[in-house]
Structure 1
Amino acid sequence: WLNLVPGTSVEAFKPENHYLPDHPPLGRYWLGVHHHLTWWLAPPFEPEGPFVTACARTGSATAFALTVWMIGVAATSWFGRAAGLFASLALVLMPRVYGHAHLASLETITNLTCTAAVLAVAAWWNGAAPPSRRVALLTGVVMGLALLTKIQAVLIPIPVMLWALWRWRAKAIVPLLVWGVTANVVFFALWPYLWLDPVGHYLEYLGRTTNRATIHCFYFGVRYDDKAVPWHYPFVMFAVTVPVGLHVMGALGLRREKSAVSSQRSEAGGKDDARWRHWLLLACTVFPLIVFALPGVAVYDGERLFLTVFPLWAIFVGRGFQIAYSLFIRIKYPTLPVFGLLGVLAWSAMTSYWLQPYQLAYYNELVGGQSGADRCGLEIDYWGVGITRGNYNVVVLSLGRDSTIAIGPTLHQFQADEYRRQSPVLRRHRILVVSVESGGDSPQRVIMFRRRADEPPSRASSRRILKRDEFIWWSDDIVAAFAERVRVNDRDNPKQEAPSP
């Protein structure tokens, strides 16, 4: 936006000036502001270049805190204070969501804006009559901000439209038009790239989300192309990446329990509003899972593409806790059941604590935790969380200064050098980082993380081809290893692969 000076705006959006229209600007702007603010408050150690990923992570942390607060406020206003408290705790205690809040990526900001868009409709579109144009306009602005963050926001309008038409029939058409038009006006008005060629650039943006390089997905021991993943993938991943106790409470929260509805609501129409709100939240939770289960729809990256359903599910979890707590305190001896309820929260908290900093590799008891997920053939370390500062310290202790280390698997051409640029330990000791594929099958010092969908041909992360080092770090559940790779024939490590669609 600062480049929108006459004569320079066109230049700012040219590809040769490194502008990529793959995502709208709001999430990037959010991370950029936090990056510069953090750099100013806590300057990084001898940075190499103008960007330090760690500084931008504060943007995700802030967005996560706001999402937790927003979920708590909404659940409190609808179901009572206990539900609000438990809903906020439930979101914090979902390890995958908590792990994403530590990344300088758009997922947590997307959770914030998409959740706000759904909750705005759930809170303000109520009563026997459809919402006024003013209310529709205000909620449309919030929806526009969600569209400005990431493409996942396009999954919101369909369940909202179906819900509104089901509730108010033809009377909902005008509010829906106001809501939709306002959202698109905000989207176009606040993304200057679209001003230059509205239709062409908009179609280009949509095309980038569907016409991209194939991404592989490792699922139950088979490597699939992203559009050939089995239909049940999103449902299974959602089921196994949230603590089981929270799922049980969420299922209980799906009940339309009279006692769970806040006493602050009005008698006239209050029950009806609560019932319709229930269906809206449920529809916006289930619809993204259904979309990514459709044949031909690309799905990959574990839960990332449908992460927006987790905050909404936390509301049902909070409601379930409130219902269970209300039932337990009425019985003659409530102490044991109440402690059991608190034990569900404590177990979820301890699990996340034990996993630190590997929350993004979490699997629940339905598949036997991380070890069980590994045996089932699920992706263990998609995000490379196994590569930690401790790994780099091991490299320095073992290799010394001016050495070379290979890291893999390699996901893009800038990955290896970016590891070095973002690590003060490696830079200080002048450790050169190269891709693990660059050395072929020659002996090589490597750090491997268990992203099984993109393992190099030599399967360098296999125990059979890693010669363990005195300083090796290895976890049986979340695997990242520092070792010496030795030559191995590819036929010794066959990989089952699904055919392309």
Structure 2
Amino acid sequence: MFNWIRLFLLHFDTLILGGGIFWLLITIGTGFGPYWDSWLFYNRAMPWSYWLASWWNGQPAPSLLNWQIFFPDASRHPPLMEFGGGFCHALFKNSFGELGSCRLFVEFFTSLSLAVMYGFLKTRLGRIGGLFVVCLFLGSPRFLVHGVRFGIDGLIAALYGMAVIAFLGWGRRAGNLMWIFILLVLSFLTKIQGFYLVVVLIFWILLLNLERTRKGQIFFNPQAGTDLASGLLLAGLAAGLAIFLWPPLWLNFPEAFNQFIHFTTHHVKIAVLYFGTVYGEGNPPPWHYPWGFCLVALPLWLTLPILIKAVRRLVLAGLSFRQSYAFDSQAGAGFQAPLRRMPSSMLPAQEEGLFWGAMLIPLVISSMPDVPRFDGIRLLLPAMIPWVVLVADEILCWWRWIELRLLKPFHASIRMALFSPMLLLVLLPSIRIYPYNLCYYSPLIGGTSGAQRAGFDLDYLGVSMHLLNPALSRVAHAGDILLLLGGNSPVYHAGPEGWTPVPEGIRAMRFFIDPNLLSEKNNIFVIIGSRYSDFNQQVEAILREAPIIQAVTCKGERLFSLHRLDKALIRRLLD
């Protein structure tokens, strides 16, 4: 009992921080409306919600034996988010709304991952350093929106980050293996990117044994083979349990499994606008898309320090190599001295190596031929928690260097007070752009307007489209047609989320100019987004000729606009 109380007091600040982040994500999450797949995932989660709610409301629910109802599309993504979203919906829909309740599952794991990261780093970087890492994450507008929306990308990023931290306990206590196993199972049940963790685990085991080999001055450490076999066995058992918890894969084997593999390996149809060129099926983005997009779409707080850290690491590695092999000791001596006065890392060398590997592996895999590359950083999110850890480590190294050279006479509390404004500064990108987070671009490319001129999509997920609904409610009525381009998940019903719904009875559908529209007696409206990779000549003509009823803008750039189509314009579009 005493140990539990001691553990609670030791991590009380971590629990408070995690709860605060959870509340913050729920609060600011209402600023982001549905994105294009919101209702797709919502509909898959509903059977689980009805099944759980039937335990106390007495309403009929489908039997779990009728697995086709619970897994209507087994060939797509693993089902963890549908499990969690459905259960959260059953428990909290009256308080948080239809979609807001489902989001709680992703928001919980995002806040949990940040709390775990803080709890781990406060022992390495201090409490202010751990808090700084959390602020770096929350201060990245794109990380923030993905940590809220009901989608698998933010969920896999959170699980990936926690698993990487859990890997640090490999070989220490048996209990650590249990946490690694659980996080591997959850990751495998979320998205195919969960299997990146197998590569990270192998990398970490090799890194550990490389250090043992170096210390023992031996060429090969026999323990390496045993550790690798143990790691692969653990990953295999986790994959087996994940498959067991996804019944369609084995109830309809091998057809469902083959469909899942085909969907995963051919999921490249989504168009991408990258520096003015549209890429898509048959014409994938270039290999450097993940690296280039991160450079222009993330705050300078995240890009410049990681580049500086990489250069410093390479220089120090080169100097150590030259010294080890007795090369000319005078060469580079003048450059070596200032670098050696600054700590190369606040983290132990092996731990820093793990975070480098965990960050680079998703980026390198995404750069390989035939690997899907689209939607900005969405597919790169697993790299982001290791990324912010390395960035915080680099900035704190520079701060330590400044303390030693300039601030040493001052009391520690004064030095901490001088550093505290950094916590606010790194939050500014998210504060200034909210709620148009997906329109954030770095000053390196000129911000939102510069990115639009350079040829990049803006709000490609459609999370700000709902801001047009008040204007739509004033001009549209039941029976009218609403064509959607660049964001196709309307808000259908008012709820605790606070979003204005589209008019009841309106017919919302994907953008397509059909001759049947000429015989339509009701009004025809169209919403055009800022996913420019979806544009064609018809869309360009509408933007030129159809007056804008209302527009959503960010930094002077149009994100979504509402137009009414008359019959004359439709005829010209069909010609």
Same fold (TM over 0.5): yes
Q: Give the secondary-structure state (helix, strand or coil) at the position aligned to 1:116.
A: helix
- Letter of the 2:546 partner, please give it: L
**1:260, 1:213 → 2: CA distance?**
39
**2:535, 2:307 → 1: CA distance?**
38
Which of the two has higher C-alpha Rg? 2
Indicate how the Cα distance of structure 1 residues 430 and 197 shifts in structure 2: closer, same or farther if over 3 A, else same.
Answer: closer
Q: Unpaired segments of 5 or more residues in structure 1?
A: 45-51, 263-273, 493-501
Aligned to 1:290: 364
**1:488, 1:242 → 2: CA distance?**
43
Does structure 1 retain, via aligned residues, the 8 Å contact 2:75–2:257?
no
Within a 5 Å distance, the mapping from 1:158-173 to structure 2 comes to 158-168=199-209, 169-173=224-228
Does structure 2 retain, via aligned residues, the 8 Å contact 1:10–1:196?
no
> How far off its partner does 1:12 sit?
1.6
Q: Give the secondary-structure state (helix, strand or coil) at the position aligned to 1:437.
A: coil
**1:75, 1:377 → 2: CA distance?**
39
**2:507, 2:69 → 1: CA distance?**
33
Aligned to 2:534: 454
Residue in structure 2 matching 1:92, options 138, 143, 150: 138
Aligned to 2:354: 280
1:275-297 CA distance string (max 9 Å, x none): 12211111111111111111222
Aligned to 1:395: 472
Aligned to 1:420: 492
- Letter of the 1:330 partner, please give it: L
Indicate how the Cα distance of structure 1 residues 461 and 365 shifts in structure 2: closer, same or farther if over 3 A, else same.
Answer: farther
1:240 aligns with 2:296: yes
1:188-223 CA distance string (max 9 Å, x none): 333233342565544432222113472211111111
Within a 5 Å distance, the mapping from 1:486-501 to structure 2 comes to 486=569
Indicate how the Cα distance of structure 1 residues 158 and 484 shifts in structure 2: closer, same or farther if over 3 A, else same.
Answer: same
Aligned to 1:39: 93
Does structure 2 retain, via aligned residues, the 8 Å contact 1:57–1:103?
yes
> How far off its partner does 1:409 sit?
1.1
Does structure 2 retain, via aligned residues, the 8 Å contact 1:76–1:83?
yes
Q: Give the secondary-structure state (helix, strand or coil) at the position aligned to 2:90.
A: helix
Aligned to 1:117: 163
Indicate how the Cα distance of structure 1 residues 407 and 57 shifts in structure 2: closer, same or farther if over 3 A, else same.
Answer: farther
Does structure 2 retain, via aligned residues, the 8 Å contact 1:35–1:56?
yes
1:305-363 CA distance string (max 9 Å, x none): 11111111111122223223322233436999989966655344233122221112211
Does structure 1 retain, via aligned residues, the 8 Å contact 2:146–2:154?
yes
Indicate how the Cα distance of structure 1 residues 384 and 488 shifts in structure 2: closer, same or farther if over 3 A, else same.
Answer: farther
Indicate how the Cα distance of structure 1 residues 327 and 359 shifts in structure 2: closer, same or farther if over 3 A, else same.
Answer: same
> Number of aligned pairs?
457
1:14-43 CA distance string (max 9 Å, x none): 79x73434222222212222222221435x
**2:287, 2:445 → 1: CA distance?**
19
> How far off its partner does 1:68 sit?
1.4
**2:419, 2:249 → 1: CA distance?**
51
1:104 aligns with 2:104: no
**1:347, 1:186 → 2: CA distance?**
44
Identity within the alignment, %: 21
**1:206, 1:149 → 2: CA distance?**
15
**1:134, 1:337 → 2: CA distance?**
39
- Letter of the 1:449 partner, please give it: G
**2:541, 2:157 → 1: CA distance?**
33
> How far off its partner does 1:119 sit?
1.3
Q: Give the secondary-structure state (helix, strand or coil) at the position aligned to 1:124.
A: coil
Aligned to 2:272: 217
1:448-498 CA distance string (max 9 Å, x none): 1111122254124874233234x5554433521123454596799xxxxxx
Structure number with higher helix proportion: 2
> How far off its partner does 1:77 sit?
2.6
Does structure 2 retain, via aligned residues, the 8 Å contact 1:83–1:321?
no
TM-score for both structures, normalised by structure 1: 0.80
Aligned to 1:433: 508
Residue in structure 1 matching 2:113, options 63, 67, 84: 67
Indicate how the Cα distance of structure 1 residues 422 and 283 shifts in structure 2: closer, same or farther if over 3 A, else same.
Answer: farther
Within a 5 Å distance, the mapping from 1:52-451 to structure 2 comes to 52-121=98-167, 123-125=168-170, 135-136=176-177, 138-168=179-209, 169-197=224-252, 200-212=255-267, 214-226=269-281, 228-251=284-307, 258=343, 260-261=345-346, 274-332=348-406, 345-389=423-467, 391-397=468-474, 399=475, 401-402=477-478, 404=480, 406-409=482-485, 415=488, 418-420=490-492, 425-426=500-501, 430-438=505-513, 444-451=524-531
**1:340, 1:237 → 2: CA distance?**
33
1:467 aligns with 2:547: yes
Q: Unpaired segments of 5 or more residues in structure 2?
A: 1-47, 53-61, 210-223, 314-341
- Letter of the 1:395 partner, please give it: L
Q: Give the secondary-structure state (helix, strand or coil) at the position aligned to 1:223.
A: strand
Instruction: Tell me which moved more, 60-69 or 370-379.
Output: 60-69
- Letter of the 2:82 partner, please give it: R
Does structure 1 retain, via aligned residues, the 8 Å contact 2:272–2:278?
yes
Indicate how the Cα distance of structure 1 residues 235 and 213 shifts in structure 2: closer, same or farther if over 3 A, else same.
Answer: closer
Residue in structure 2 matching 1:20, options 74, 82, 87: 74
Does structure 2 retain, via aligned residues, the 8 Å contact 1:79–1:260?
no
1:141-195 CA distance string (max 9 Å, x none): 3212211111111112123213423542334223223322232233133323334
1:393-428 CA distance string (max 9 Å, x none): 11223x1543635242167xxx46x54357874456
Q: Give the secondary-structure state (helix, strand or coil) at the position aligned to 1:320.
A: helix
- Kindly report the root-mean-square deviation, in angstroms, between the aligned alpha carbons of the 2 structures: 3.6
**2:303, 2:571 → 1: CA distance?**
44
